[in-house]
Amino acid sequence: MGEFSLGDLAGKYLLTTMTFVPLLGALLIMLVPRGQNSAMKWIAVIISAIPLLLCWPLLKGFDASITPKTADDAARFVQYGFQFVTNSEWIPLFKGSSIRYAVGVDGISVTMIVLTALLSFICIVASWGFEHWHTSKGLKGYLALFLLLETGMMGVFISLDFFLFYVFWELMLLPMYFLIGIWGGPRREYAAIKFFLYTLAGSVLMLIVMLALFFASGDVDPATPGVQHTFMLPELMKQSNLFTGTPWLLAFIGLYIGFAIKIPAFPFHTWLPDAHVEAPTPISVILAGVLLKMGTYGIMRICYPILPEAAFRFSPVMMLFGFIGIVYGALCAMAQIRGVPRVNPQTGEQFIERDLKKMVAYSSVSHMGFCMIGLAACTPAGMAGCLLQMWNHGVITGMLFLIVGVVYDRAHHRNIDGFGGLWDKMPVYGGITALAFMASLGLPGLSGFIGEALCFMGAYQAGPNVVDEMGVKDPPVFNLIRFSVYYKLLTAISVSGVVFGAGYFLWSYQKVFLGKLNPKYAEITDVNPREQFTLWPLLLLVVVFGIYPKPLLDLIVPSVNYLVGQVGMPWVK
């Protein structure tokens, strides 16, 4: 039944432990006297290693198949595929409802939890180079905030209660704001406040819909006892047939906007380049690796199972935005290489922007576009591709930001034109970067390809062959664009994203690594063991999962197929 062998107790509290240990670690670090950087670093590493180590029993005890079993399962939500469930009352409300502390994982969350634990650990290790950063602010606050952030991230992925989800969601914002705003680059305050307010605006929409769902739920006939207003996601999923009609389409759109800001989907993406450029390297890694996944995770966990009819009606729009994101993101990334003329808002001077990190940030927008088209299609292949792409993107883009960090630590700038011929002096680094770039542009044989291939195949399969199959009244143009040609056409053009990917990655690689050695960097050092320690595990994952993704897919596919069944787009029937 998916229980850890030490018994029920351990299984019940495994997730809670994984989530709150970093919080304890943060408090522990706050107690360390200022200036004891070494002690703080070690505490942080050990604390962040704990969730990573706990992933082992989590994965071992996780049963990937979803089949309803006993009546007891209903109380523990196993028929929705959730395991390691803890469900206890937290804040009692009126009329028998309450906000519950309910956590549990299914295939979708477990993947994300492992990703979070892994990347957090790697980021802490990457933060060991703190002394090289140009900041006088203390390490203590940084590590404490980071561990707090980790708690928030883990919590989001395990929450089964919408309120709890919201609490953890908001919990992530504040540490992020400070981490970018204090330890970041020259324009850090602007980037931090932009990130914070933008995400908060989306969260407000989420709050409204959350309350709407709460008050609309439980309005079932009084013959069924025990169903009250609820925030519990599995309960809401059970009642998904209540949430039909245009008001819930608007609710879906509200939720979508809240999540789309995080994905980041066009046109809500502009906070990302600034946040990434200004944030220190490990923060960029965790931002790209984990925080961006929460958008699509939220859509998969909340929007789709609870509001399936709205999902169907909104699907073409999501497809469109995903498609735009792919192409537009890639083009903007490529524009960074030639240089984008900008004007400094404070001083008014003109300069050409050629930031390597911004290029990677825009490539993130492009890659998450792949996720979105798979998500919009909501076919087994598309959803599996979306989730797989989320994992892959987390690992690969995390790697890319670490890579940019390596060269930034040495040269203290990220100007693409400012390098040249580095491969000669840094062969290991050049090789790792080449492999990372290849993975990111989706070379078959590496893990990025499978995610993208599944997304394309899934998206191409989508699209009903007959108009208006669900009998839903819609304006005529909405009917028209649901012909299957729409999905296929957009998917076909989206494939050009891989061509653009090849373009900007190889071009930037050439500018930085190939050609004549820039005499300024004749003495540059290759990656040191600590940096290699952060990079090699990710690289290994990329290579292994490219050839043998079965372990990952075994986790993902059953949950994803169940989700597809829950949403039930007409072309999947």
Least CB distance to another protein at residue 573 (A):
7
Asked if 561 interacts with another protein (CB under 8 A), we say yes
Q: Figure out which of the listed residues 23, 233, 372, 450 binds another protein, where binding follows CB under 8 A.
A: 450
Q: Closer to another protein at the Cβ: 53 or 499?
A: 499
Site for another protein in 358-417 (CB under 8 A): 379-381, 384
**Contact code string over 340-359 relative to another protein, x by CB under 8 A:** xxx-----------------
Other beta carbons within 10 Å of 70: 10
Query: Which residue has tokens 């207003």?
Result: 229
Q: How far is the CB of 334 from another protein (least distance, A)?
A: 5
Give least dist CB 276 to another protein, A.
14
Instruction: Give the nearest distance from C-beta 442 to another protein in angstroms.
Output: 8
Kind plus residue range of the DSSP H or E element containing 100? strand 98-105
Going by C-beta distance under 8 Å and a sequence separation of 6 or more, which residues neighbour residue 38? none
What residues between 187 and 206 interact with another protein by CB under 8 A?
194, 197-198
b/e per residue, 244-278, with b = 16+ CB within 10 A? eeeebbebbbbbbbbbbbbbbbbebbebbbbbbbb
R_g of the chain, CA atoms, integer Å: 23
With binding defined as CB under 8 A, does residue 306 bind another protein? no
- The span of 52-60, 298-306, 469-477, 543-551 binding another protein (CB under 8 A) equals 543-551
**Position 539 contacts another protein (CB under 8 A):** no
DSSP-derived secondary structure letter, 418: G
Nearest to another protein of 177, 248 (CB atom): 177
Instruction: Find the angle CA(52)-CA(182)-CA(25) to the nearest 5 degrees.
Output: 30
Burial class (CB in 10 A: 0-12, 13-18, 19+), 503: middle
Find the binder of another protein among 503, 518, 532, 537 (CB under 8 A). Answer: 503
Among candidates 118, 165, 384, 334, which has minimal Cα distance to 262? 165
Q: Which of 514, 524, 533, 537 binds another protein (CB under 8 A)?
A: 514
Closest distance between another protein and the C-beta of residue 493, in Å? 9
- H helices within 32-138, ranges in order? 37-61, 71-76, 107-126
Residue 381 Cβ vs another protein, minimum distance, rounded to whole Å: 5
Specify the residue, 69 or 338, whose C-beta has the smaller distance to another protein: 338
Q: Which stretch binds another protein (CB under 8 A): 23-31, 103-111, 402-410, 492-500?
A: 492-500
Please give the single-letter amino acid code of residue 448: G
Sole window of 16-24, 243-251, 296-304, 547-555 interacting with another protein (rule: CB under 8 A)? 547-555
Q: Site for another protein (CB under 8 A): which residue of 82, 271, 370, 521? A: 271
Q: Of 35 and 267, which has the nearer Cβ to another protein?
A: 267
Query: Minimum Å distance from CB 112 to another protein?
Result: 19
Residue 37 burial (CB count, 10 A): 16
Tokens representing 386?
A: 């979306």
Angle between helices 496-513 and 308-338 (to 10 degrees): 30
- Considering CB under 8 A, how many residues would be counted as binding another protein? 66
Identified binder of another protein from the candidate list 515, 526, 537, 566, rule CB under 8 A: 515
Q: Which residues contact 385 (CB under 8 A, 6 or more apart)?
A: 370, 371, 374, 450, 451, 452, 453, 454, 455, 456, 457, 458
CB under 8 Å to 1, separation ≥6 — which residues?
63, 69, 78
Closest approach, Cβ 572 to another protein, in A, equals 5
Q: Tell me: does residue 319 bind another protein (CB under 8 A).
A: no
Spatial CB neighbours of 111, under 8 Å, sequence gap ≥ 6: 387, 390, 391, 552, 555, 556
Work out whether 495 is an interface residue with another protein (CB under 8 A).
yes
Cβ proximity to another protein, 152 vs 202, nearer residue: 202
503 CB-near residues (< 8 Å, 6+ apart): 330, 334
Q: Which helix H or strand E contains 88, and what residues bound it?
A: strand 83-92
What is the smallest separation between the CB atom of 482 and another protein, expressed in angstroms?
16
State which of residues 182, 335, 411, 472 lies at the interface with another protein (CB under 8 A). 335
What is residue 353's three-state secondary structure? strand
d(CA 106, CA 102): 13
The contact set with another protein (CB under 8 A) reads: 194, 197-198, 267, 269-271, 328, 331-332, 334-336, 338, 340-342, 379-381, 384, 421, 423-424, 431, 438, 443-445, 449-450, 453-454, 456-458, 460-461, 488, 491-492, 495-496, 498-499, 502-503, 506-507, 510, 513-517, 547-550, 553, 557, 561, 565, 571-573
